[in-house]
Amino acid sequence: MKIETLKEIIKKKLSNEQFAVLTNLNNGSSEIFKLGTPISKNFINYKNEIQSYYNLKKSGIIDGTEIFIQNYIKPVEVIIVGAVHITQYLIQYLKDLNFNVIVVDPREYFITKQKFQNIKIINEWPEEFFKKIETSSNTALITLTHDPKIDEPALKYALEKKFFYIGALGSKKTHENRCKRLKEEGFNDEEIASIHGPIGIKIGGKSAPEIALSIVAQLIFETNKYKTI
């Protein structure tokens, strides 16, 4: 591998970009691949196969070829709406598991009340925050405030952008009412059913750390399922 290619790989990894490294096992040539970038003559004959593996986020020798592809997947971005007590434990779990985390809450009181360290806290309404960032299907949303004025604009945005994971804290009755309002906003049954509500897997937890653990367990399951699609 050329030193220029190795330097570029290191640069892209540090910037959390999604990309792949292609290696022709016949002649040892390597290059970096991203969707929309030109492919050299060493790999052009396998363009469709390379794109398929890239989209599936698979690594290995492409079937029927001598092309090895190593995918470097961008870490999942988790947006948490609500700087509540549970959020502290969520942050701890998620950062240990290599998720990128952003917390959004327009209520300054909650931001100052909780003890958040080494995490990006956005003191804005979700609808204003989402106007300023880029998201993708590689993004997850967790809403925790119980306040429809805060949670539901975020949920609507996540549904429109087709986040791979959307979870909302609240009782069954709260979630039923939430779903009715979303239906009145024009979302269909399939879209609404994609929301995990009440959020988390059932482990019988009552404390903030236990609830956070149930949420993270569900998120990990959906993340691993999403990566194999």
pLDDT tens profile 106-158: 998 888 777 777 788 899 999 999 999 988 878 999 999 999 999 999 999 99
C-alpha distance from residue 178 to each of 83, 145, 175, 182 (Å): 20, 13, 5, 6
Residue 116 has what pLDDT?
78
Rounded to two decimals, the pTM is: 0.75
In which order are the strands placed within the sheet that holds 67-72? Answer: 30-33, 19-24, 67-72, 60-61
- The pLDDT, as a whole number, for residue 227 is 56
Q: Output DSSP code: residue 37.
A: S
The single-letter DSSP state of residue 45 is G
Q: Are 78 and 138 spatial neighbours (Cβ–Cβ below 8 Å)?
A: no
229 pLDDT above the threshold of 50: no
Give dist(CA 71, CA 77) in Å, integer.
Answer: 18
pLDDT digits (tens, 9 = 90+) for 172-227: 999 999 999 999 999 999 999 999 999 999 998 889 999 999 999 999 999 887 65
Query: Can you tell me the distance from the alpha carbon of 26 to that of 29, in angstroms, rounded to the nearest whole number?
Result: 8
* Eight-state DSSP code of residue 58: -
Distance CA 55, CA 212 (A): 31
Architecture per CATH, domain 77-227, reads as 3-Layer(aba) Sandwich (3.40)
Give the pLDDT band of residue 35 (cuts 50, 70, 90): confident
- pLDDT digits 0-9 by tens, 75-114: 789 999 999 999 999 999 999 898 999 999 999 888 877 7
pLDDT at 228 over 90: no
Provide the token pair at 215.
């949420």
Token pair belonging to 169: 């804290």
CB 90 within 8 A of CB 80: yes
- Predicted pLDDT at 212: 96
- Of 205, 126, 113, 124, give the one whose Cα is nearest residue 163: 126
What does the domain layout of the chain look like in residue ranges? 3-72, 77-227
Average pLDDT of the residues in 158-169: 96
pLDDT digits (tens, 9 = 90+) for 58-77: 889 998 889 999 888 777 89
Across residues 24-35, what is the average pLDDT? Answer: 88
Strand ranges for the chain from DSSP E: 19-24, 30-33, 60-61, 67-72, 77-81, 100-104, 120-122, 139-143, 165-168, 195-196
> Using CA atoms, how far apart are residues 63 and 65, in angstroms rounded to an integer?
6
